[in-house]
Amino acid sequence: MEVIEGYPDYMLKSIKLVEEKRKKNLSQPVKPMSMKEREEILSKYHPDYMKGTKRELKVGIDKGMLLYNGIVDLLEARPVLDPKDVDLSKIDYDVDLLIIGGGGAGTVAALFAYESGIPKDKILIVTKLRHGDANSMMAQGGIQAADRPEDNPALHYLDIYGGGHFTNKPELARALALDAPGIINWHEELGVLYDRHEDGEFQELSGGGTCRNRMHSCKDYSGMEIMRNIRDQARNLEIPVLEFCPVAELLMDDKGQVAGGVAFNLETFEYYVIRAKATILATGGSGRLHLANYPTTNHYGATGDGLIMAYHVGANLLDLDTIQIHPTGDAYPEPLVGILSTEKIRGLGAIPLNKYGDPFVFPLEPRDVESASLIKECKEGKGIITPTGMPGVWLDTPMIEMIHGEGTIETKLAGEVRKFKRFGIDMAKQPILVYPTLHYQNGGIEINEKTETRIPGLFAAGEVSGGVHGKNRLMGNSLLDFNVFGRRSGIYAAKYVKKAKIGKLTLSHLDKYNKMLEKANIKAEKSAPIILPEYRGEMAISRALDIF
Partner 1 sequence: MNKKEQVLLEKPKMKKSKNNEKKVETIEVFIMGKSYKVPAGLTIMKALEYAGYRYIRGCGCRAGFCGACSTIYRKEDEQKLGFDLACQKVVEDKMYLVQLPFVPATKAEYDINKIEPTDSTILEFYPEIARCVSCNTCTKSCPQDIEVMKYIQRAIRGDISKCAEISFDCIQCGLCAMRCPADIKHYHVSQLARRLRGKYLDIKSKNLAERLKEIKNRKYDTEIEKMMKMGRNEIMDIYKNRKIEAEEESKEGD
DSSP states of 66-121: EEEHHHHHHHTSEESS-GGG--TTS-SEEEEEEEE--SHHHHHHHHHHHHTT--GG
Cα atoms in the 13 Å half-sphere on the side-chain side of 88:
21
- Sign of CA pseudo-dihedral 33, 34, 36, 42: positive
Least separation in angstroms between residue 161's CB and partner 1 is: 7
Least separation in angstroms between residue 494's CB and partner 1 is: 20
Taking the C-alpha atoms of residue 154 and residue 101, their distance in angstroms, rounded to an integer, is: 32
Q: What number of chain residues touch partner 1 (CB under 8 A)?
A: 109
Contacts with partner 1, 10-29, as mask; x by CB under 8 A: x--xx------------x-x
Phi, psi of 391 (to 5 degrees): -80, 160
Which 464-523 residues touch partner 1, going by CB under 8 A? none
Among 171, 270, 406, 426, binds partner 1 (CB under 8 A): 171
What does the chain come to in residues? 548
Taking the C-alpha atoms of residue 12 and residue 23, their distance in angstroms, rounded to an integer, is: 18
Which 229-248 residues touch partner 1, going by CB under 8 A? 229, 232-233, 235-236, 238, 244
Per CB under 8 A, does 525 bind partner 1? no
Taking the C-alpha atoms of residue 535 and residue 57, their distance in angstroms, rounded to an integer, is: 27
- Applying CB under 8 A, the span of 62-70, 119-127, 129-137, 470-478 interacting with partner 1 comes to 129-137
Q: What do you get for the CA distance between the two ends of the chain, in Å?
A: 37
For residue 324, the one-letter residue type is: Q
Per CB under 8 A, does 121 bind partner 1? no
Among 154, 429, 498, 503, binds partner 1 (CB under 8 A): 154
Q: What does the radius of gyration of the chain's CA atoms come to, in whole angstroms?
A: 23
Nearer to partner 1, 169 or 509 (CB): 169
Nearer to partner 1, 129 or 516 (CB): 129
Q: Is the distance from CB of 183 to CB of 190 less than 8 angstroms?
A: no
Per CB under 8 A, does 4 bind partner 1? yes
> Looking at residue 467, what DSSP letter applies?
S
Among 24, 422, 504, 519, binds partner 1 (CB under 8 A): 422
Least separation in angstroms between residue 470's CB and partner 1 is: 13
Largest distance between two CA atoms of the chain: 73
Which 172-201 residues touch partner 1, going by CB under 8 A? 174, 177-178, 181-182, 184-185, 188-194, 196, 198-201
Phi, psi of 133 (to 5 degrees): -80, 100
Distance of CA 535 to the CA centre of its chain: 20
Q: State yes or no: is 326 an active-site residue.
A: yes
Which 294-313 residues touch partner 1, going by CB under 8 A? 297, 299-300
Least separation in angstroms between residue 395's CB and partner 1 is: 16
Nearer to partner 1, 415 or 456 (CB): 415
Q: Which of 214, 275, 326, 367 is catalytic?
A: 326
Among 161, 271, 311, 482, binds partner 1 (CB under 8 A): 161
Least separation in angstroms between residue 460's CB and partner 1 is: 22
Among 224, 291, 395, 507, binds partner 1 (CB under 8 A): 224
Of 501, 460, 455, which Cα lies nearest the Cα of 277?
Answer: 501
Give the residue numbers marked as catalytic: 326, 346
